Amino acid sequence: MGILTGKKGLILGVANDKSIAWGVAQACKREGAEIGFNYLGDMMEKRVRPLAEEAGATFIEPLDVSDDAQMDAFFAKVEQHWGMLDFMVHSIAFANKDALRSRFSETTRADFQFALDVSAYSFIACAQRAARLMSPGGSMVTMSYLGAVRAVPNYNVMGVAKAALEASTRYLAQDLGRDGIRVNALSAGPIRTLAASAVGDFCKLMDKSARGSMLGRNVSQDEVGNATAFLLSDMASGISGEVHYVDAGFHVGAGDPGVE
Ligand code: NAD
Ligand code: 0WE
C-alpha cells in the first residue's frame, strides 16, 4: 500500500514530461493517489492531456491562475467531480523574460506585479479555494527556490516572488492550521525544465550547483516528486509552515570561500 492510497489531489503546473509537477504526479500515482490536473491554454492541452491519461487522471481542466473567473470555474469543477480534496500541489511560476536578464534595479512595476501575481498570489488564490474542499489532514505544497533567500544572479524579480511565496506558505500554514490543514514549500535545486531552459547560462548554473552541493550532483524531478509525496502524506502529519530543501545540500554549503 502506498503512502497516498485513497487520497485525491490536484497537481497544478504540468507543462510537459520535464515539469517538476510531472515528477510529483508520477510519485503520487505510484503511492496510490487519484490525481487531477490543469493546463494553461489550448496550446498546453495537447501536451498535458496524454500525460494526465498516462497517470490515470479523470480530471483535466483549463486554468490560468491570473484569471479569477477561471479560478472559480476550475474549483467549481473540482467540487462537482470529487466533492472534496485531500491535497494540492502548486508548481507554477512565471516572470517576463526581460526581467530575468535586465538589471534588477530596472524592474518595472508591470513586471513586478505580473511575476508576483502568477508566482506568489496564485498560491493563496488556489489555497483558499482548495481549503474549502478539505477536511483535517489536508495538505498543500508549493515549489520554491533558493533565490527567495539569497541573491542569485539574474533570478531578480522571481526571487522577490519566491520570498513572498515562502512567507505566504507560513501565513497559510498559520491560518489553515486551525482547520487541520498543513501547508509547506519545497525548495528545489536547479532542474532542466521548460521554464529553466529559457534561462541563459543555465548549464553553468547547474554545474556550479552540482559542485557546491553536499552530494556533488544536481537533483531530479523524481527526487522532488518523492519528497513532495512525503509532505502530502500522513507521514508528514507533524510538518507545517516549513520550507523543505531538496537541493542535494547546496544551501548548507558556504559557496566557494576559496579554501580547499
Ligand atoms: P515548467 O515550465 O515545467 O512549469 C511551470 C508551469 O507554470 C507550467 O506548467 C506553466 O504552464 C505554468 N504556468 C505559468 N503561468 C501560469 C498561469 N498564469 N496559470 C497557470 N499555470 C501557469 O517549469 P518547472 O521548472 O517545473 O516549474 C515549476 C515550479 O518549480 C515553479 O514554481 C518554479 O519556480 C519551481 N522551481 C523550478 C526549479 C528549476 O530549476 N526548474 C527550481 C526550483 C523551483
Ligand atoms: O523558478 C525558476 C524558473 C522561473 C522562470 C523562468 C522563466 C524563463 C522563461 C520564470 N519565468 C520565466 N519566464 C520566461 O520567459 N527556476 C528556479 C529556474 C531558474 O530560473 C532562473 C534561475 C533558475 C535556477 C533564472 C535566472 C537565474 C537562475
Q: Whose CA is nearest to atom 29 of ligand 1?
A: 91
Whole-model pTM over 0.85: yes
161 Cβ inside 6 Å of ligand 2: no
pLDDT score recorded for residue 23 = 98
Q: Which three cell numbers stand for residue 37?
A: 490536473
Ligand 1 mean position to 260 CA, how many Å?
36
SS3 labels along 148-203: HCCCCCCCHHHHHHHHHHHHHHHHHHHHHHHHCCEEEEEEECCCCCHHHHCCCCHH
Q: What is the DSSP letter of 221?
A: H
Q: Whose CA is nearest to atom 40 of ligand 1?
A: 190
pLDDT score recorded for residue 260 = 59
Ligand 2 mean position to 199 CA, how many Å?
6
Pocket test for ligand 1, best of 42, 48, 143, 184 (most atoms within 8 A of CB): 143
Return per-residue pLDDT of the chain as tens, 260 residues.
Answer: 899 999 999 999 999 999 999 999 999 999 999 999 999 999 999 999 999 999 999 899 999 999 999 999 999 999 999 999 999 999 999 999 999 999 999 999 999 999 999 999 999 999 999 999 999 999 999 999 999 999 999 999 999 999 999 999 999 999 999 999 999 999 999 999 999 988 888 999 999 999 999 999 999 999 999 999 999 999 999 999 999 999 999 999 998 777 65
Q: How far apart are CA 245 and CA 248, in angstroms?
A: 8
The closest ligand to the CA of 39 turns out to be 1
Decide if 52 contacts 60 (C-beta within 8 A).
yes
pLDDT score recorded for residue 259 = 64
Question: What angle in degrees, to the nearest 10, is found between the helix axes of 122-131 and 156-176?
Answer: 20
The closest ligand to the CA of 197 turns out to be 2
pLDDT score recorded for residue 87 = 99
